[in-house]
Amino acid sequence: MQDTAAPSSPGENRPHPFVAGVIAAGAAVLSYSVWYLLTQPTPPSLLVLLGLTAVAGWAALRVPSMPISFSISDTFSIAAALLIGPAAGAVTAALDGLILSFGMKTSSRTAARVMFNVTAAAVGNWVAAEAFFILSSSTVLIDGPLRVPRLFVLLAIFGILNFGLGTGLVAAAVAFEGGKSILGIWRAHFVGLWVTYLGGIFATMLMLVLSDTRGQPMSMPEVLLLITPLPVILYVTFGHALGRAEDQIEHLGGMNRVYVATIEALAQTIDAKDQVTHDHIRRVQDNSVRLARELGVDDDLEIQALKAASLLHDVGKIAVPEHILNKPGRLSPSELEIMRRHAPVGADILSVIGFPYPVVPIVRHHHENWDGSGYPDGLTGDAIPIGARILSVVDCFDALTSDRPYRPRFESHDALKVLADRRGTMYDPRVVDAFFALHAAGKNEMPPPLSAPVADPHAVPEAPAAVLDDDASRAGEMDAFYELASAPTTDASAGDVGALLWLRLQRRLDASAFVLFVYEESADCLAPVFSEGAPTVATGTRIRLGDRLSGWVAATRQVIMNSDARLDIDDAWRDQSRLQSAMAVPVCVEGRLEGVLAFYSDRAAAFSPSHLRMAEAAAYVAGRGLCRREQIGVAVSAPVSRPGTTASRH
């Protein structure tokens, strides 16, 4: 028997009308049954059956990790109803319901629940027994060659009514309280309980067949001898089965913990490559589940899929080169195409695992857009899995409010404005509205107006305005190359090299600031040895390879042009700086890194391909001086760790 009863919401003083009706009907049945038993001779076997019911109820077997218990007490209430009468059956069933109610968790044991368990069981047993006796006759066993099949049919009717009413009343109460389907509740929680009713019916059938007459009371030894063995055998057998099931559940629980740990390890491996902190994916996972609950997603498989997909949605980035993942500047069309492969690649990787819930569709489609402009399949609207729609909104907000290699983090209100601007185009309006509601409740602030667009930090930055490669610009380049070639850098110190380059290129590049970094091999970092113009980095600043713009250029040996200048500026000056664009080139000699040249401008997209060619020429010239490291008077100190972390390109 399952420990289930009609729910009552916390704080409610009155039960649901249906529950109240069942309690009233059951109270009437019990009142009549008690009166009948007190006014009629009571056979001693009733006391035996009541005692066996109490013992069986307290000894119910609990199914591990599930709100279900198995009891053989139904056998004794069925025997009481068929051997003694409907009144005895109702009282015995009520006692069974009362005992099982006190086996519930304390938090679930309300007065309404206890009364419903007692009365519903009594009603089901009494109605079934009355139907049995109405359809039968006093000669059911001793007359006719078909007495046993006839008895079997009558017992089947009794069992159907008893089982149907007993479980159906509870299922209806749960469904009415929760607004769910009665049939759905019954199928999910009660179908499997038929075995205890079947056992009780066959045990009673055995006694009825062996009895000379149904109306003759049986002695206590006869009752014990005939009714006890079968349910006890069922009880012991089921107990052994539960023991094995518990061992299997413990084993599966351990395997599941290993499984989840493996998923997290895989996610952290990808995040380490993509420079994402573990806190980021945990935040995305927690907020995705909260948003799903807000949207009414209550399917457990869908929630589990969302949890796993939150950790693994970027697993396909394992196929994307690091210099593209963490590039602090604009992605080229070919780089963008490589980056976009991570969604289908991740889905292909995860498809071989065989998840028991739909993780793969979420991973594949978490970059689809509501209006069909996303990738990889261009799905639109509700064709996009709900988990993917939820994940894309949550991941976007967390990415916007985190430092990224290609831009500083957004303030919370600016990130909300980005979501608002994308509502109905990139993101499901219902998901965005639910996210705003959650954020407003958690942060105590109202969501921004929906007509407040801001720059989109996730989109591929636009290329700088075209610069005519005319005769004048080519002539300017030639003059710059000549001046750089004639610069006396061979015997100059690193600071002098920087000063000479700034003198030659400031006017031609229209730069507002310049920094010459040298590579300190012992500390594996960049150190500024010359800085001029608007403040950018302090003398003691050390930039690890891969960090900021200059560190990325040093690590990848690739150039950056017209990236956000703030990404290379010390925190102390970042918020006040007027610098907007940056261009950086590596200084290498025979494949060996010597330093980085970084130019900054107070205009957006200030640098052109012509400027980049001049900077690369300057890097070649600088290399002639920087390779003579014995002439560079730079004090080597431990690298200074930059506060904060960076996160992946969303």
In order of 48, 214, 215, 367, the CA distances from 93 in angstroms are: 14, 21, 21, 58
CATH number for the domain harbouring residue 169: 1.10.1760.20
Q: What is the mean pLDDT of residues 47-59?
A: 74
Q: For residues 397 and 544, state if they share a domain.
A: no
Q: What does the pLDDT look like over 90-138, one tens digit per residue?
A: 888 888 888 877 765 555 667 777 888 888 888 888 998 888 888 876 5
**Which of 49-53, 457-461, 526-530, 556-560 has the highest mean predicted lDDT (pLDDT)?**
526-530
CA distances from 263 to 279, 282, 310, 616 (A): 15, 13, 11, 44
pLDDT digits (tens, 9 = 90+) for 230-247: 556 656 666 665 566 666
The whole-number average pLDDT for the span 145-173 is 78
- pTM of structure: 0.52
Q: Which tens digit of pLDDT belongs to each residue from 257-280?
A: 666 676 677 766 666 655 555 567
Whether residue 319 sits in one domain with residue 206 = no
Residue 466 lies in a domain: no
Radius of gyration of the chain (CA): 39
In the predicted model, what is the mean pLDDT of residues 268-295? 75
Q: Are residues 212 and 278 in the same domain?
A: no
**CB neighbour class for 266 (10 Å; exposed up to 12, middle 13-18, buried from 19):** middle
What residues make up the domain containing 339? 274-443
Dihedrals φ, ψ of 315, to 5°? -65, -25
Domain co-membership, 495 together with 621: yes
pLDDT for 645: 33
Residue 256 tokens, joined: 């599941």
d(CA 567, CA 574): 8
What is the distance between the alpha carbons of residues 309 and 303, in angstroms, rounded to a whole number?
A: 10
pLDDT at 57 over 70: no
For residue 253, tell me if it sits in a domain: no
114 and 180 belong to one structural domain: yes
Q: What is the DSSP string of 324-391?
A: HHT-SSPPPHHHHHHHHTHHHHHHHHHHTT--SS-HHHHHHHTT--TTS--SSS---GGGS-HHHHHH
Q: Which amino acid, residue 408? A: P
Evaluate whether residue 252 is within a structural domain.
no
Task: Indicate if 415 and 477 belong to the same structural domain.
Answer: no
Q: How many independent structural domains does the chain possess? A: 3
Check whether 79 has a pLDDT greater than 60: yes
Higher pLDDT, 360 or 253: 360
**pLDDT tier at 49, thresholds 50, 70, 90:** confident
CATH number at residue 336: 1.10.3210.10
Q: Is the pLDDT of residue 1 over 50?
A: no
Mean pLDDT of the chain: 75
Choose one of 443, 462, 494: the last residue of a domain.
443
How large is the average pLDDT for residues 536-540? 91
Q: What confidence tier does 323 reach under pLDDT thresholds 50, 70, 90?
A: confident
What are the respective helix, strand and coil percentages of the chain, to the nearest 5?
60, 10, 35
Share of the chain above pLDDT 70, in %: 65
Provide the pLDDT for residue 158: 82
Same-domain pairing of 43 and 138 = yes
Domain identity same for 402 and 526: no
Residue 338 counted as domain residue: yes
